[in-house]
Structure 1
């Protein structure tokens, strides 16, 4: 119950929770058990007091800023440069810090952002999905493990491929994985997408001609079916694993000649062409993977480790995965997209002699209904994720 004595509380503590394990309110935000207790020793961070267990903790507890002597703005600017495509060593030179420090901040931020994305990306309703993969040449190629002449020939067997899954309507990046182009990896990617989708959601899936996608989708969006008897006598037919009636899956198979695209053949694997066309016609589209390929271009521009003809390659999959986690959170929550912007009800005047503001910026998370505003990178890094699944707040 709200207190009736003293002055009312003015500091919003609804997004914080008590971290003490012995507290009955541990891990539960928004229960009105916290109050501000000033700034200890005049520091920049506010101290919070839990009225349930009478414990104290700083407001940045559980974030990458806890225990850091560096300025908050410096850490945010360093991670923002990494999210915009600058390499680790280049970022270290710009801000005059040690490269190992930048790498350490990236590792800690990736761990926190991974939990942040998992907390918000749940029960997502989508109508379409586009899946694709792009190769990433890591440091092993330059060190001589793979020669330059043999690099292109071994790309199909390379362990370093970046798998991406995007919702073409909201531009929401649902999953990123690193691994070879194998059936096991395709199943892992589809399984991660199924964990994000809402129960019972079976979207239209569009991919390239990689056949492993069909098997992975069938195993996750299928059920046992008992075939009918064709003869009056004899053994009953065995049950078969069949795709769900609402599953729609189409491929855009591309044919190249001398490294030039000469033909694109559309093929419907599950469902009918009429049903696939009906889903796509609502947006005025045809069978294609253009949106996920455009995302791959953003990946190469904003993740220095996978950019073409660059000397910022990662030394292993772990480092590349940390860059991808940072890119996913930055892309979904912090980066407005012009294709999904919303028109304002009335133009708003701006400062100076500039033209009136007619559009409201919108991020993929806003278009998907996961949040209601454009997050800043500092706001994302300061968000304390509860230790167990709870209804995500906006």
Structure 2
């Protein structure tokens, strides 16, 4: 099988992180859909491994956390009527935690919206921080015990609970295309001594838009949704690698990883490709003639 050169791999990854779908990327790069999917898988694994090993000891003061919805294969309510739906079909949630000041995506977890996933997410976040933080989340009940267990009380934690109503003046089909109207918000100190003037989730909610624009499978009302949960997770890992290390933040004028003192200069997509190639070289290779075992 012909191996893609570095230039072609970099082009494909650039197309993916700029919000192109798998098929659109395949057409522009003049490769097969399977080639794009295989590179996404390899890149996602390499990016997840690098993030896990290197985004550690983060110096942060204010961290905001949120969850963003998408679906795999079919929406939850349609899974029972879907043909040949895989076991992981249905709603899929990406949990994210971002340093408010450096804009670094410190931790992310792909799963459901259960207490178990909240616990996994918060333990991962706590393990990446260098010291005590002020944490703000929305009012999702899964956070309460998860934050308590993960931080053992060594955190200043508050919730921002928003109330929503129907879009004003919208009726019928128009309502599907309009977001719910925020009718009010309430700040609640959960434990520790959070500065209530600093409680907010606006930065992490703006990050949700960045995710929907940067990953085609998050875009609503399209057919570009994920067909496999694994590929969804790979796309998330690639997106956050590019966001943290390669993309210059418009306000900061540097990358989030530079602002967090994780690297001294911005990365290029070629360096992400180098991670993929390094992982390939590390794989054990078959030596000698292959002989099929007798049945």
Q: Same fold (TM over 0.5)?
A: yes
2:116 paired residue number = 184
Q: Which has the larger radius of gyration?
A: 1
Answer yes or no: is 1:171 the counterpart of 2:83: no
2:232 to 316, 320, 325: 320
CA offset at residue 189 of structure 1?
0.3
Contact 1:141-1:147 within 8 A present in 2 as well: no
1:210 paired residue number = 140
CA offset at residue 72 of structure 1?
1.4
Contact 1:112-1:381 within 8 A present in 2 as well: no
Indicate the SS of the match to 1:262.
Answer: strand
CA offset at residue 143 of structure 1?
11
CA offset at residue 137 of structure 1?
2.2
Answer yes or no: is 1:335 the counterpart of 2:247: yes
CA offset at residue 325 of structure 1?
0.5
Contact 2:72-2:91 within 8 A present in 1 as well: no
CA distance in 2, matches of 1:382, 1:180: 32
Q: Which runs of 5+ in 2 are unaligned?
A: 83-89, 167-179, 283-295
Write the deviation string for residues 75-121 of structure 1: whole angstroms up to 9, x where unpaired: 11001111111010110011111100110111111111122222321
CA distance in 2, matches of 1:159, 1:115: 25
Q: 1:73-222 counterparts in 2 under 5 A?
A: 73-141=7-75, 144-145=78-79, 159-198=91-130, 201-222=131-152
Pick 1 or 2: higher relative contact order, CA cutoff 8 A, min separation 6.
2
Write the deviation string for residues 160-187 of structure 1: whole angstroms up to 9, x where unpaired: 1111111110000112212222111111
Indicate the SS of the match to 1:218.
Answer: helix
CA offset at residue 146 of structure 1?
6.0
Write the deviation string for residues 32-52 of structure 1: whole angstroms up to 9, x where unpaired: xxxxxxxxxxxxxxxxxxxxx
Contact 2:6-2:273 within 8 A present in 1 as well: no
Q: CA RMSD in A?
A: 2.3
Write the deviation string for residues 52-78 of structure 1: whole angstroms up to 9, x where unpaired: xxxxxxxxxxxxxxx963221111100
Q: 1:38-77 counterparts in 2 under 5 A?
A: 69-77=3-11
CA distance in 1, matches of 2:20, 2:245: 19
Indicate the SS of the match to 2:75.
Answer: helix
Q: Which has the higher helix share?
A: 2
CA distance in 2, matches of 1:371, 1:299: 23
The size of the alignment, in residue pairs, is: 259
1:264 paired residue number = 185
CA distance in 2, matches of 1:213, 1:100: 38
Indicate the SS of the match to 1:335.
Answer: coil
Normalized against structure 1, the TM-score is what? 0.62
CA distance in 2, matches of 1:142, 1:204: 34
| 1:68–1:194 CA distance, 2 compared to 1 (3 A) | farther
| 1:131–1:121 CA distance, 2 compared to 1 (3 A) | same
Write the deviation string for residues 167-226 of structure 1: whole angstroms up to 9, x where unpaired: 11000011221222211111100111122222xx1211001111221211111222xxxx
Q: Which runs of 5+ in 1 are unaligned?
A: 1-66, 149-157, 223-242, 281-285, 342-361, 388-394
Indicate the SS of the match to 1:137.
Answer: strand
Indicate the SS of the match to 1:295.
Answer: helix
CA offset at residue 292 of structure 1?
0.5
